[in-house]
A and B are shown apart, each in its own frame.
Chain A
Amino acid sequence: MKMLYNKSLLIVLVFALFGLNGCKDFLEEDNESNFTQDNYFKTPEHAESILNSMYEGLRFVSDGAGTYGESPFMMLEFPTGTANTEVGQSIYNRNYRNLTANADDNYVNVWWTQSFESIANANLAIARIPEIEMNDSDKKRYIGEAKFMRAFHYFNLVRIFGEVPLLLEPVDANSELLYPQRSPVADVYAAIVQDLKDAEGAGLPFSDDTGRVAEGAVKSLLASVYLTMAGYPLQAGDEYYAMAADKAKEVIDNGAYYLFDDYDLLHDRDVKNTGEFIFQNNYSTGASITNPVTQLLLPRALGISQFSDEIGSIFPTREFINAHEEGDKRLEEQEFYYTQYPSIDDPNTIVEFPGIYIYKFFDEDAVLLSAQSDLNWTFLRYAEVLLTYAEAGLEAYGATPEVLSAVNAIRERADLAPYGSEITAQDIWKERFYELSFENKYWFDMARRRQVLNTETGNWEDFVGHQFTYGPTLTEKYLLFPVPQREIDNNTILTQNPGW
């Protein structure tokens, strides 16, 4: 019995010792599948990876965002009064089309959260890349790209929401900036301009056919920013027209970008990130990262494609089409729009559409063969730079030959007669309206000019009070979108935009 006691005591002792020794590291937590902020930012590859996360962060704009054929880019198209939808249950699209949206709307939430997520990544990159041991010029380049990204998203946010929190450094749980106030619009623009200026001097190549940010994209965006600053709500002064025109001119003079001869190239998979395309959202079917836009824009359930579902999310109103000039090539079948297509089951049967649909983003390979589209979505293209130059240049320098040649390059491609010195600002606005239709430009133009084209009279009229052809009337509230209610709920010091 005594021996038994000894034995048992030994056992107990062993357990006790194990208990004391074992528990020190036992409860330490160590994530082996992901880095943490503490153990990251050590190598040049880390800098590249965080930049990549920002390229991924652009995708939300043209990805799907709802169950019913919705995508965030459409939020900026429906309140222009030029679009319609065939998706009966698409509440978000209908609310903006009918101007019955509210702050609970999912679209604004997606724009807000996704843009700020990329801004947070940019802030982290800008704060932490300097501590990485690497080649100084690469470091500068990466930081330049990150600053472009930050400016890109703030430029969207300030135009969509007006005053927004201006966060330029990383935020953590104990940071006061976790609950920021909205910053004045002027401060946001100042930060955008500063970031873009920094990016201009970051040593980026002028163009880049892989889809990375290039100096040409920085300058094109900066031209757009200046043009917007010249208009509402900032009205920063006429010198901004000159600055916009000058910046656009730098892109034009460089010669790296040019207008495609053929509109087909605007939706050709072989010319991504080159030629007319300055900055794009990149997709690849090979990597199974695909673009839904072609499918979303097909006329609903007419059996013209390999897609199981042809959605009919958005198509132009007849009045929008009718507002074009006689002979505009862009209206010809299968240029920017189309009205018929062969049946997928029987190519000899032509399916006539009950309306006019957008052909600009039509991926023929996907429609006829693969049902997988990797067409890029375009944020900035050369036609916009030309029109920015024309619009700003006319304000700053008058109808100079350079101004006329910029706008006429667009018109000539559309088989329209060139403008002479009699050209007015409104003529250029219209050219932008036709050329950049459904590319997320027109609503921003409407808001900065506070002028909307009456598609029935052909005249420009005030934003506030403009009646859409199908009934609803724009009020002052629609000069901005609502701050997401969810964000106000979580940060009660935020205010809502007027009228929302």
Chain B
Amino acid sequence: MKQNFLKTMLTLVCFATFSAFQAQTTVTGTVTDTNGPIPGVNIQVQGTSTGTQTDFNGGYTIENVEGNATLIFSYVGYTKQEITVDNRSTIDVTLQEDAQALETVVVVGYGTQRKSDVTGSVSQVSNEQITELPVTNVEQSLAGKAAGVNVSSNSGRPGGNTNIRIRGNNSINAGNGPLYVVDGVIGAGPINYLNPNDIESLEVLKDASATAIYGARGANGVIIISTKRGGKGEGRVSYEAFTSVGRLTRKLDVLDAKGFLQTELNSYNNAQKYDPVGFSEGKYENPLTFRNNSQLFDSEGNPLYDTDWQEEATRTAITQSHNLSFTGGNSDQSYGLFLNYTNQEGIILESSLKRYSARFVMDNQVKDWLKVGGSITFNHVEENRVDGGQGGLTPLRMMIETLPIVPVTYPDGTYGTNANYPNMEGGENPVNLLRNKTNLIKTQTFLGNVYADFDLAEGLKLRSSIGTNIVNTQDNFYSGRTLRQQSADYEGEASVANTRENYWQFENYLTYKKEFNENHSIEALGGLSWQQYDYAYSYAGARGFSDDFYEYRNLGVGSNPLTPDSDTQKWALNSYFGRFNYNLMSKYLFTVTGRLDGSSRFGQANKRAFFPSAAFAWRVSEEDFLKDNKTISNLKFRTSYGETGNTEIGVYQSLASLSTSVAILGGQRAPGVGIGTLANPDLKWEKTAQFDAGVEFDMFNKRIGIEADVYYKKTTDLLLQAPVPSSSGYTSIYKNVGSLENKGLEISLNTTNIQTEDFMWTTSFNISLNKNEILALGEADDDIFPGPFFLSNTNILRVGESVGSFYGLIREGTWGSDEAAEAAQYNLLPGDIKHTDVNGDGEINSADRVIIGNGNADGFGALFNTFTYKNFDLTLDLQFSFGNDILNLSRHSGEDRTGQANSYATVLNGWTPDNQDTNIAQNRPSKAYYTTTIDSRMVEDGSFIRGRNLIVGYNFGGDILEKYNLSRLRVYASLQNFFLSTDYTGYDPEVSTYDDSFSQGISFFDYPKSESLTLGVNLTF
């Protein structure tokens, strides 16, 4: 055994050759169905580990077979056959399609259903689809896979920053992200740390019929993740690995040394025009006088350096991921052990994410009436995050704004910085920042769920399960002693923040299935659930370090301790749920679902709420007039209506909590307690009512499949952090006011375009359209500004408009020389930016703001094409989005001003008397007045088509597999993010650098995405 294990390990490492076993009989043959040969059929010698698969011609050869052995032929969608060898050397088999087994089984809340019996709108994503793209993050692997699910990968940083919306935004304050249910654990997370390779299938529940079983937490859609379970039969070892190399291919156009110096000179030459008083007082120095600094210039005044900071701050990033699994079992029990190691480098220096995960699953039929099992997952993730401190002088910003005339390091080893040159804002060199600032976030996640199934009577089962999700996060931060504008003023700053989240659930439910006769069958479910979550946080920090050596590892040596902090939170849910399915003649399907939820978060009077739904489906293709139709193989209409809720607001909002603060008296800290929350004892649930109508339509023996849905959702009793007059001392109260709607259309199309013996071409296309409108906001329908705030409120919620609307002035261009008099009315000069005076009051100010864009897409989708030729396969994955705008805030510092840091190259197109047809202001030193505000110049069309993935794979055939005793060997190469077609001028139109609910598309120096090449291998034996 030990030897065997060692051998196994050896194989893993270097694919060492197995010695073949002694043959007794060799069996060959062909496996076919009514259409011809079937490749990939599993053939197993019963009771042994020997097995093989058919090749592309349906042929197989199997050695070492005892003359009296039994061969088991199995293939998904076909009835399994067992054939005794009887000393034959040739066995040809014809497999029969199994109508039952051919049916896809989908996971729904608290159970599974055959796809044909589902009355709700559920999209299934299989393990194959998830791991098709070798990503390290589950959320990103979902992109494009399901209609109605908009996945925005908003950052290139390892670990990502992914924004998922199912059928639009339903809420304003209570969160818009979907509910994740992982192996039955409701609300499991953090989901982006889950190993995508562990996932067996992923179901997206979209309509109310599907989500109502999760009642209070289901309004934003539910994503059910089922992880891989153990095997049946012989033990299997599987190893899957990939390594990828990524780099920054899309650089932004910034000023080089020559351009920067020219712009600086232009600016100086215009200083007198924009600040005559300051100019006469000598506030502006001729920059030519700075160019005798021998550190930066040669004797002629030419710059010594021309640094490409985007090049210097990035790297070729290497990622590797290894998955090793062991599965096995027998008819009564199965086990699985799944191990993962992933090390992902970010393309920005120093950024990285490492994940170690282990998962163990077991299912065991202990007695004929009792089955127990469970899964336990442990994850350890270490992420070094470099894009913290959004809005400030982050490395991502400084790689655009650091002067090209400054080097990364001077010959003596010291870092170059903007402060080395006069008049510059003192942001730090990005390389220095990346190397001397650390934000190491360590997260340990424990996710476990154990169950016991009791067979109580024919068709009656009780499941009792306990699940838990524990997340410990340690956020370690250190910013070095010399980093200007970060921590130099404090001589270093370090902190450690610990968060412990503890969630448990206890659920019990009965299911009852009965077929009365061939026309009537029912399935009923009823259960109860308790869920509780508690949270504890603690923080310690210090400033004033004598050496960078300590970082965050010895806070005690900091001379100036920061105020420590701790906090606790808790919430609980108690629920009763039920579902009843009635199947009439396999043609008419009825589903009724209900959940009664009680949540601690709501006011005393409104703790509980009931969420019902009903659905009906008509399988037209089962009707006599279509039953034997050769063209139409499946036609189903379904419709549903129901209500779901949203509880995701902060805790204690119905209580009049007091808040704490710190005053200084007598030079000492004097802790204060004052007003905090404006209590709302009437706080209640936010509800979303949804109507859905869908059709599933398959033709030509499923060569063409279409699924389409239309939906209308209306959310009422919106949980709004409604502003109140601040004369009360408070600024807002959580209230149930307002409503909004989403309506949309989703179409998925799957076709098998060509299918011959050797060649197959399949296409999968989906598109989703969603339109959002705010219907009411509070008593007075006042605008709400949900943030982020940057220069002004960037984002507005206004009745009649969609959420995610950008708000600002309209930039018409620049004032021309012939408009001097008009410009003067606004205190401006020709060469200044010209905004529209919308209300015509003779002033340009915030009263002239209008809606200038929207970050949400009108539509999005994906197109997959897969070609298979013999053992080769090729997949092309294209994704698109249209109608989404970007609010590129980086133009504020990168374009609206000059002479304070480096700028985008667009400033070279600044206004001059000879170049008046421009929307870039005339260059001038930033000390002189200039205009900068949220305006339409920052809004860009973010529509795009992305070549997300191109994969070429090769599955080794029978000979090789046999030779090395393998059951599967696949190698592949993949090119990710290989093209991007968009008018957007920033790094990537899938972007958001803020965490606010409606910040999609709002960017201020984002983490760029890489183009990467991946090589991978999948091996099973």
| CB pair B727 A124 closer than 8 Å | no
Cα distance A494–B723 in the bound complex, in angstroms: 15
Flag whether B678 is at the interface (Cβ < 8 A): yes
Flag whether B48 is at the interface (Cβ < 8 A): no
| CB pair B930 A54 closer than 8 Å | no
Residue in A27, A282, A309 whose CB lies within 8 Å of B425? A309
For chain A residues 89-112, which have a beta carbon within 8 Å of chain B? 89, 91, 94-95, 98, 100, 102, 104-105, 112
SS class of chain A's interface: helix, strand, loop or mixed? loop
Cα distance A288–B493 in the bound complex, in angstroms: 12
CB-nearest residue of chain A relative to B278? A354
Tell me the smallest distance from the CB of A143 to a CB of chain B, in Å.
16
Flag whether A300 is at the interface (Cβ < 8 A): yes
Flag whether A12 is at the interface (Cβ < 8 A): yes
List the B side residues contacting A98 at CB < 8 Å: 827
Of B112-120, B565-573, B577-585, B810-818, which binds chain A?
Answer: B565-573
Of A31-39, A388-396, A406-414, which binds chain B?
Answer: A31-39
With A31-B657, A50-B674 known to touch, is A487 a contact of B679 (CB < 8 Å)? Answer: no
Of B145-153, B404-412, B596-604, B767-775, which binds chain A?
Answer: B596-604
Cα distance A23–B598 in the bound complex, in angstroms: 9
Flag whether A167 is at the interface (Cβ < 8 A): yes
Tell me the smallest distance from the CB of B894 to a CB of chain A, in Å.
13
Flag whether B928 is at the interface (Cβ < 8 A): yes
List the A side residues contacting B676 at CB < 8 Å: 34
List the B side residues contacting A49 at CB < 8 Å: 671-673
| CB pair B661 A308 closer than 8 Å | no
B-contact bits for A6-34, CB 8 A (1 contact / 0 none): 00100110010001001100111111111
| CB pair A308 B485 closer than 8 Å | yes
With A29-B654, A38-B656, A282-B663 known to touch, is A100 a contact of B843 (CB < 8 Å)? Answer: yes
Flag whether B840 is at the interface (Cβ < 8 A): no
Tell me the smallest distance from the CB of B360 to a CB of chain A, in Å.
26
| CB pair A27 B599 closer than 8 Å | yes
With A35-B673, A40-B658, A88-B897 known to touch, is A19 a contact of B528 (CB < 8 Å)? Answer: yes
With A27-B599, A53-B661, A57-B674 known to touch, is A91 a contact of B490 (CB < 8 Å)? Answer: no
List the A side residues contacting B726 at CB < 8 Å: 112-113, 116-117, 484, 486-487, 490
Residue in B278, B652, B900, B926 whose CB lies within 8 Å of A31? B652
Interface residues on A, range: 35 or more
Flag whether A137 is at the interface (Cβ < 8 A): no
| CB pair A23 B574 closer than 8 Å | yes
With A19-B528, A89-B930, A355-B283 known to touch, is A32 a contact of B725 (CB < 8 Å)? Answer: no
| CB pair A117 B570 closer than 8 Å | no
| CB pair A55 B926 closer than 8 Å | no
List the B side residues contacting A179 at CB < 8 Å: 725
CB-nearest residue of chain A relative to B560? A288
| CB pair A490 B782 closer than 8 Å | yes
Flag whether B929 is at the interface (Cβ < 8 A): yes
List the B side residues contacting A119 at CB < 8 Å: 729
| CB pair B657 A165 closer than 8 Å | no
Tell me the smallest distance from the CB of B624 to a CB of chain A, in Å.
43
Flag whether A475 is at the interface (Cβ < 8 A): no
| CB pair A164 B680 closer than 8 Å | no
List the B side residues contacting A34 at CB < 8 Å: 652, 657-660, 676
List the A side residues contacting B422 at CB < 8 Å: 301
CB-nearest residue of chain B relative to A58? B663
List the A side residues contacting B510 at CB < 8 Å: 12
With A11-B454, A180-B727, A287-B662 known to touch, is A172 a contact of B678 (CB < 8 Å)? Answer: yes
Tell me the smallest distance from the CB of B370 to a CB of chain A, in Å.
9
Flag whether B484 is at the interface (Cβ < 8 A): yes
Flag whether B76 is at the interface (Cβ < 8 A): no
With A56-B661, A177-B728 known to touch, is A50 a contact of B845 (CB < 8 Å)? Answer: no
Flag whether B530 is at the interface (Cβ < 8 A): yes
CB-defined A-B contacts under 8 Å, sample of 16: A8-B462, A32-B568, A33-B569, A35-B673, A49-B671, A50-B674, A52-B672, A53-B674, A86-B283, A116-B727, A173-B679, A178-B728, A301-B426, A312-B927, A372-B489, A489-B780
Closest 6 pairs (CB-CB, A-B)? A120-B729, A53-B674, A53-B672, A52-B672, A210-B666, A371-B489
List 17 extra interface pairs beyond A27-B607, A490-B780, CB under 8 A.
A29-B571, A31-B657, A34-B659, A40-B673, A49-B671, A52-B661, A88-B925, A117-B729, A117-B730, A171-B730, A172-B679, A173-B679, A212-B665, A282-B663, A285-B560, A287-B669, A484-B726
Show the binding face of A for B, using Cβ within 8 Å. Answer: 4-5, 8, 11-12, 15, 19, 22-23, 26-38, 40, 46, 49-57, 59, 67, 86, 88-89, 91, 94-95, 98, 100, 102, 104-105, 112-113, 116-121, 123-124, 164-165, 167, 171-173, 175, 177-180, 209-212, 272, 282-289, 300-301, 303, 306-309, 312, 318, 354-355, 371-372, 374, 470, 484, 486-487, 489-492, 494
Show the binding face of B for A, using Cβ within 8 Å. Answer: 277-278, 281-283, 369, 391, 419, 422-426, 454, 456-457, 462, 464, 484-486, 488-490, 508, 510, 528, 530, 532, 543, 560-563, 566-574, 598-601, 607, 651-652, 654-676, 678-681, 723-731, 733, 780, 782-783, 791-792, 827, 843, 845-847, 897, 900, 925-930, 932-933
